[in-house]
Amino acid sequence: MNLYRAFVELQPLLSSDPAQYAELLTDFLEREAWITPPDYYKMRFLGNHDTVSWVWQSARAVDCYGVGAAKALFALICLIDGMPMIYQGDEDPSIYGGTGENLTEYFTMLFRHRKTFIPAGNGIKWLHTGTPVMAFERQGEVLVLINLSDRIQEFDFSGRQAEALADSTQEDVSNTESSLALGQIPAYGYKIVRCL
């Protein structure tokens, strides 16, 4: 519940100052990682039966953040340490009689990327970018970049060699030419990179 509460408290910054939002959220998650026992898995979510129906935001994530920002935050909860939970209907609003974009394909791709490219374990190292991009290493093997803004953002690899593995614009970029350069992250998108 702590991460969800941080999402709620920081929500106004997401649209007004996404760089500050990313910095404060990174700071929160970094501190949380310092005090979490190694084999302790937190459940990560943007909504549940209580928060959607009657408490806190009393709305679905896409209604609170907009579809783009919600997709970025869904990527965050799926690619950080812990276990992601997608509340029933968030993948397709027609399930609960709502309207809006069907995200089934997005979630299918996101969870495929999690399974294929994110190493097992809770090891995470947070990077402070000073931009709307949240960046973290998983188990020291892959770097995940998540853009919390509505514009393409750049990430500086500072001369490090890297290989793009996957991003939110297509299934798998490791064997194909991406439309974006290695250090570019699409608006409200994510990129998974192996540093060489």
Identify each DSSP E strand in the chain by its residue range.
Answer: 43-45, 83-85, 124-127, 133-138, 142-147, 153-154, 162-167, 184-185, 190-195
pLDDT given at position 103? 97
Residue 34 sits in a domain whose CATH number is 2.60.40.1180
For 125-134, what is the mean pLDDT? 97
Helix (H, G, I), strand (E, B) or coil at 25: helix
Q: For residue 175, give both structure tokens.
A: 């064997």
Q: What is the pLDDT of residues 22-70, one digit of tens each?
A: 999 999 999 999 999 888 999 999 999 999 988 888 899 999 999 999 9
pTM to 2 decimal places? 0.93
Range(s) of the domain holding residue 80 = 1-196
Alpha carbon dihedral 111, 106, 33, 54, in 10-degree steps, equals -110
How high does pLDDT run on average in the chain? Answer: 92
pLDDT given at position 85? 97
Q: What is the number of domains present in the chain? A: 1
Q: For residue 31, give both structure tokens.
A: 């501190």
Q: What is the pLDDT of residues 136-169, one digit of tens each?
A: 999 989 999 999 999 999 999 887 788 999 999 8
